[in-house]
């Protein structure tokens, strides 16, 4: 079998991996064999965490909406059911932003949800649940 040296391909591959490993602790940033393992592991985590970031933000939005809804005597699930009945197109991200930035606007949204559910404006929906 003939000898293959690979030339610049080998060097370029090593440089690319070591560039990705820049900033890692210890030999992980300058020893190719160890850096290659760490880069592969890091890229796998990056792929996984792009999905998890979406999941975590949705959870945060739900927590914020629930807290704001309970200030108006309504649970999160009742609020979302009321908004769906009212035909509202506001998504959770925007709803959470409104809850934090514009409490009066959120109160109007809650009122529309309550009216769609047939609840009086001052009723305690949590007790009815």
Question: What domains does the chain contain, in order, with CATH numbers?
Answer: 8-51 (no CATH), 53-128 (1.10.1900.20)
Percent of the chain with pLDDT over 70: 94
The mean per-residue pLDDT over the stretch 52-56 comes to 97
Give yes or no for a contact between 73 and 104, defined as CB atoms under 8 angstroms apart: no
| 57-102 pLDDT per residue, tens | 999 999 999 999 999 999 999 999 999 999 988 899 999 999 999 9
H helices present in the chain, as ranges: 8-20, 32-70, 76-86, 92-101, 103-117, 125-128
Read off the pLDDT band of 18 (50, 70, 90). Answer: very high
Largest CA distance in the chain: 86
């Amino acid at each position: 079998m003939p000898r293959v040296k690979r030339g610049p391909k080998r060097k370029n591959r090593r440089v690319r991996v070591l560039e990705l490993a820049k900033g890692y602790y210890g030999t992980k940033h300058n020893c190719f064999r160890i850096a290659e393992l760490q880069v592969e592991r890091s890229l796998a985590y990056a792929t996984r965490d792009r999905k998890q970031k979406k999941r975590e933000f949705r959870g945060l939005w739900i927590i914020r909406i629930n807290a704001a809804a309970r200030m108006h005597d309504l649970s999160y699930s009742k609020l979302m059911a009321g908004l769906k009945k009212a035909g509202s197109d506001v998504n959770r991200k925007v709803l959470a932003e409104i809850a934090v930035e514009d409490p009066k606007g959120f109160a109007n949204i809650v009122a529309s949800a309550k009216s769609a559910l047939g609840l009086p404006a001052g009723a305690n929906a949590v007790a009815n649940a």
